[in-house]
Protein backbone atom coordinates (compact mmCIF):
# COMPACT_ATOMS: atom_id res chain seq x y z
CA UNK A 1 0.00 0.00 0.00
CA UNK A 2 2.81 2.32 -0.92
CA UNK A 3 1.83 5.94 -1.21
CA UNK A 4 -1.14 5.58 1.07
CA UNK A 5 -1.62 6.91 4.55
CA UNK A 6 -3.20 4.25 6.73
CA UNK A 7 -5.23 5.56 9.64
CA UNK A 8 -6.91 3.46 12.27
CA UNK A 9 -10.32 5.01 12.80
CA UNK A 10 -11.56 4.35 16.31
CA UNK A 11 -15.13 4.61 17.46
CA UNK A 12 -14.18 7.49 19.75
CA UNK A 13 -12.10 9.34 17.15
CA UNK A 14 -13.00 12.78 15.83
CA UNK A 15 -14.06 12.81 12.18
CA UNK A 16 -13.69 15.83 9.94
CA UNK A 17 -16.82 17.30 8.39
CA UNK A 18 -15.36 16.90 4.92
CA UNK A 19 -14.72 13.18 5.45
CA UNK A 20 -18.07 12.33 7.01
CA UNK A 21 -21.04 11.33 4.88
CA UNK A 22 -24.57 12.61 5.38
CA UNK A 23 -25.14 10.20 8.25
CA UNK A 24 -22.19 11.61 10.18
CA UNK A 25 -19.89 8.62 9.61
CA UNK A 26 -16.73 8.49 7.56
CA UNK A 27 -16.76 6.27 4.45
CA UNK A 28 -14.42 3.29 4.19
CA UNK A 29 -12.11 5.27 1.89
CA UNK A 30 -11.66 8.90 0.98
CA UNK A 31 -9.02 11.37 -0.17
CA UNK A 32 -8.16 14.05 2.37
CA UNK A 33 -8.71 17.45 0.79
CA UNK A 34 -5.92 19.18 2.72
CA UNK A 35 -3.11 16.68 2.05
CA UNK A 36 -4.26 14.62 -0.90
CA UNK A 37 -3.58 11.43 1.05
CA UNK A 38 -5.87 8.47 0.56
CA UNK A 39 -7.33 7.34 3.89
CA UNK A 40 -8.45 3.73 4.34
CA UNK A 41 -10.51 2.31 7.18
CA UNK A 42 -8.99 -0.93 8.43
CA UNK A 43 -11.49 -1.87 11.17
CA UNK A 44 -14.47 -2.48 8.90
CA UNK A 45 -16.79 -4.04 11.43
CA UNK A 46 -19.59 -3.03 13.76
CA UNK A 47 -18.87 -2.08 17.34
CA UNK A 48 -16.11 -0.14 19.02
CA UNK A 49 -12.61 -0.88 17.75
CA UNK A 50 -9.21 0.22 19.03
CA UNK A 51 -5.56 -0.27 18.19
CA UNK A 52 -2.97 -1.61 20.60
CA UNK A 53 -1.17 0.82 22.90
CA UNK A 54 1.31 2.92 20.94
CA UNK A 55 4.45 0.94 21.80
CA UNK A 56 2.88 -2.51 21.24
CA UNK A 57 3.57 -3.72 17.70
CA UNK A 58 0.36 -5.17 16.17
CA UNK A 59 1.90 -6.37 12.87
CA UNK A 60 3.29 -9.75 11.79
CA UNK A 61 6.84 -10.01 10.44
CA UNK A 62 5.54 -10.47 6.89
CA UNK A 63 3.28 -7.46 7.24
CA UNK A 64 0.27 -9.43 6.08
CA UNK A 65 -1.88 -8.97 9.18
CA UNK A 66 -2.54 -6.40 11.88
CA UNK A 67 -4.27 -7.09 15.18
CA UNK A 68 -6.69 -4.81 16.99
CA UNK A 69 -9.28 -5.12 19.74
CA UNK A 70 -12.99 -4.94 19.05
CA UNK A 71 -16.20 -4.98 21.03
CA UNK A 72 -18.65 -7.89 20.83
CA UNK A 73 -21.84 -8.70 22.75
CA UNK A 74 -19.68 -10.96 24.94
CA UNK A 75 -17.07 -8.27 25.57
CA UNK A 76 -13.78 -7.25 24.01
CA UNK A 77 -12.00 -9.71 21.72
CA UNK A 78 -8.98 -9.63 19.40
CA UNK A 79 -9.39 -9.33 15.63
CA UNK A 80 -6.99 -9.49 12.69
CA UNK A 81 -7.24 -7.57 9.43
CA UNK A 82 -5.66 -8.91 6.24
CA UNK A 83 -3.76 -5.89 4.91
CA UNK A 84 -4.13 -7.06 1.30
CA UNK A 85 -7.82 -7.96 1.21
CA UNK A 86 -8.93 -5.88 4.24
CA UNK A 87 -10.91 -8.90 5.43
CA UNK A 88 -11.43 -8.88 9.21
CA UNK A 89 -11.69 -12.05 11.31
CA UNK A 90 -12.07 -12.69 15.01
CA UNK A 91 -8.98 -14.33 16.53
CA UNK A 92 -9.80 -14.88 20.22
CA UNK A 93 -12.92 -16.09 22.03
CA UNK A 94 -12.12 -14.81 25.53
CA UNK A 95 -11.34 -11.46 27.20
CA UNK A 96 -7.69 -10.47 27.14
CA UNK A 97 -5.17 -7.89 28.25
CA UNK A 98 -1.38 -7.44 27.98
CA UNK A 99 -1.70 -8.41 24.29
CA UNK A 100 1.57 -8.76 22.37
CA UNK A 101 2.18 -10.15 18.88
CA UNK A 102 4.98 -12.67 18.28
CA UNK A 103 5.78 -11.40 14.79
CA UNK A 104 7.61 -14.49 13.51
CA UNK A 105 5.53 -17.09 15.33
CA UNK A 106 2.30 -15.61 13.95
CA UNK A 107 0.85 -15.82 17.45
CA UNK A 108 -0.60 -13.36 19.90
CA UNK A 109 0.16 -13.77 23.61
CA UNK A 110 -2.24 -12.37 26.20
CA UNK A 111 -3.51 -12.67 29.75
CA UNK A 112 -7.08 -13.85 30.35
CA UNK A 113 -7.96 -13.98 34.02
CA UNK A 114 -4.82 -15.38 35.62
CA UNK A 115 -3.79 -17.52 32.63
CA UNK A 116 -1.40 -16.59 29.85
CA UNK A 117 -2.53 -17.89 26.45
CA UNK A 118 -1.12 -17.95 22.92
CA UNK A 119 -3.43 -17.99 19.88
CA UNK A 120 -2.23 -18.59 16.31
CA UNK A 121 -3.33 -15.82 13.97
CA UNK A 122 -4.20 -18.16 11.07
CA UNK A 123 -5.51 -21.37 12.64
CA UNK A 124 -6.79 -19.69 15.84
CA UNK A 125 -5.52 -22.69 17.80
CA UNK A 126 -5.02 -21.61 21.41
CA UNK A 127 -2.60 -23.04 23.94
CA UNK A 128 -2.23 -22.38 27.63
CA UNK A 129 1.18 -21.05 28.62
CA UNK A 130 1.03 -20.68 32.40
CA UNK A 131 -1.23 -19.55 35.24
CA UNK A 132 0.22 -16.72 37.32
CA UNK A 133 -0.62 -15.48 40.84
CA UNK A 134 -3.46 -12.99 41.03
CA UNK A 135 -1.21 -10.18 42.28
CA UNK A 136 0.83 -10.38 39.07
CA UNK A 137 -2.26 -9.54 36.99
CA UNK A 138 -2.03 -5.91 38.18
CA UNK A 139 0.78 -5.21 35.76
CA UNK A 140 1.59 -3.14 32.72
CA UNK A 141 1.58 -5.60 29.85
CA UNK A 142 3.82 -8.17 28.19
CA UNK A 143 6.69 -7.87 25.78
CA UNK A 144 8.52 -10.65 23.93
CA UNK A 145 12.23 -11.02 23.28
CA UNK A 146 13.91 -11.03 19.86
CA UNK A 147 14.01 -14.80 19.35
CA UNK A 148 10.46 -15.13 20.71
CA UNK A 149 11.32 -17.60 23.47
CA UNK A 150 10.58 -15.42 26.50
CA UNK A 151 7.73 -13.20 27.56
CA UNK A 152 8.49 -10.40 29.99
CA UNK A 153 6.20 -8.27 32.09
CA UNK A 154 6.15 -6.05 35.13
CA UNK A 155 3.99 -5.70 38.18
CA UNK A 156 4.08 -3.39 41.17
CA UNK A 157 4.14 -4.90 44.64
CA UNK A 158 1.07 -3.72 46.54
CA UNK A 159 -0.62 -2.32 43.43
CA UNK A 160 -3.85 -4.26 44.01
CA UNK A 161 -4.23 -2.75 47.48
CA UNK A 162 -3.36 0.68 46.12
CA UNK A 163 -6.09 0.50 43.49
CA UNK A 164 -8.69 -0.54 46.09
CA UNK A 165 -8.17 2.56 48.23
CA UNK A 166 -11.32 4.67 48.31
CA UNK A 167 -12.52 7.70 50.29
CA UNK A 168 -14.62 7.09 53.37
CA UNK A 169 -18.41 7.31 53.46
CA UNK A 170 -18.60 10.59 55.41
CA UNK A 171 -18.63 12.72 52.28
CA UNK A 172 -15.94 14.99 53.72
CA UNK A 173 -13.16 16.15 51.45
CA UNK A 174 -10.09 13.96 51.77
CA UNK A 175 -6.69 14.88 50.46
CA UNK A 176 -3.72 12.56 50.45
CA UNK A 177 -0.56 12.37 48.37
CA UNK A 178 -0.25 9.88 45.53
CA UNK A 179 2.62 7.93 47.04
CA UNK A 180 3.89 6.38 43.84
CA UNK A 181 7.40 6.64 42.47
CA UNK A 182 6.70 5.11 39.10
CA UNK A 183 9.10 6.29 36.40
CA UNK A 184 8.50 3.49 33.95
CA UNK A 185 5.05 2.06 33.37
CA UNK A 186 5.98 -0.34 30.58
CA UNK A 187 8.67 -2.84 29.80
CA UNK A 188 9.95 -3.45 26.27
CA UNK A 189 12.74 -5.38 24.59
CA UNK A 190 14.50 -4.89 21.28
CA UNK A 191 12.84 -6.95 18.58
CA UNK A 192 15.92 -6.97 16.31
CA UNK A 193 18.20 -8.81 18.72
CA UNK A 194 20.15 -5.78 19.89
CA UNK A 195 19.70 -7.11 23.42
CA UNK A 196 21.04 -10.57 22.51
CA UNK A 197 21.12 -13.24 23.84
CA UNK A 198 17.50 -12.45 24.55
CA UNK A 199 17.86 -10.44 27.74
CA UNK A 200 15.28 -7.76 28.55
CA UNK A 201 16.17 -4.22 27.57
CA UNK A 202 13.99 -1.82 29.55
CA UNK A 203 13.32 1.87 29.35
CA UNK A 204 16.04 3.99 31.03
CA UNK A 205 14.38 4.26 34.44
CA UNK A 206 12.12 2.07 36.52
CA UNK A 207 10.61 2.32 39.97
CA UNK A 208 12.17 0.58 42.95
CA UNK A 209 9.11 -1.47 43.89
CA UNK A 210 8.37 -2.91 40.46
CA UNK A 211 9.31 -6.50 39.75
CA UNK A 212 9.93 -7.92 36.31
CA UNK A 213 8.41 -11.26 35.40
CA UNK A 214 9.95 -13.64 32.86
CA UNK A 215 7.84 -16.40 31.33
CA UNK A 216 8.94 -19.01 28.82
CA UNK A 217 6.61 -19.07 25.80
CA UNK A 218 6.58 -22.84 26.32
CA UNK A 219 4.95 -22.51 29.72
CA UNK A 220 7.61 -22.32 32.42
CA UNK A 221 8.00 -19.44 34.84
CA UNK A 222 11.64 -18.51 34.47
CA UNK A 223 11.74 -16.44 37.62
CA UNK A 224 11.51 -12.91 38.92
CA UNK A 225 14.21 -10.34 38.51
CA UNK A 226 14.53 -8.35 41.76
CA UNK A 227 13.58 -4.65 41.88
CA UNK A 228 16.33 -2.53 40.40
CA UNK A 229 16.87 0.93 39.05
CA UNK A 230 18.13 0.52 35.51
CA UNK A 231 20.41 3.12 33.91
In what side-by-side order are the strands of the sheet with 221-225? 139-144, 150-156, 210-216, 221-225
The pLDDT confidence band at residue 109, using thresholds 50, 70 and 90, is very high
**What is the percent of the chain with per-residue pLDDT over 70, rounded to a whole number?**
57
- Select from 37, 18, 34 the least CA-distant residue to 26: 18
Predicted local distance difference test score (pLDDT) of residue 13 = 36
Residue 221, in any domain of the structure: yes
Predicted local distance difference test score (pLDDT) of residue 206 = 34
Residue 198, in any domain of the structure: yes
Residue 126, in any domain of the structure: no
Residue 201, in any domain of the structure: yes
Residue 218, in any domain of the structure: yes
How confident is the model over 48-101, as pLDDT tens digits?
899 988 878 899 999 999 999 999 999 999 999 999 999 999 999 999 998 999
Q: Is it the case that residue 140 has pLDDT exceeding 80? A: no
Distances (CA, A) of 166 to 124, 135, 170, 177: 41, 19, 12, 13
Residue 19, in any domain of the structure: no
Domains of the chain: total: 1
Q: Report the mean per-residue pLDDT for the chain.
A: 72
DSSP single-letter state for residue 160: H
Which of these ranges, 49-58, 117-126, 194-203, 222-231, has the smallest mean pLDDT? 222-231
Residue 73, in any domain of the structure: no
Predicted local distance difference test score (pLDDT) of residue 189 = 67
Kindly report the pTM of this predicted structure.
0.69
Rounded to an integer, what distance in angstroms lies between the CA atom of residue 2 and that of residue 14?
A: 25
The boundaries of the domain holding residue 220 are 132-166+174-231
Residue 200, in any domain of the structure: yes
Amino acid sequence: MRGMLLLFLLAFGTLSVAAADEGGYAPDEWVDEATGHRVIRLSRREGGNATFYFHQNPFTAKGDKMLFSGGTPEGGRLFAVDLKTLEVEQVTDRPSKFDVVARKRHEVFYLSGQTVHATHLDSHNTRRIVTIPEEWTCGTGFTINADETLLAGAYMEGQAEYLERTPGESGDEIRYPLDRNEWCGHFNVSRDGADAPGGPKAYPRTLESRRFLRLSVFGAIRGLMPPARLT
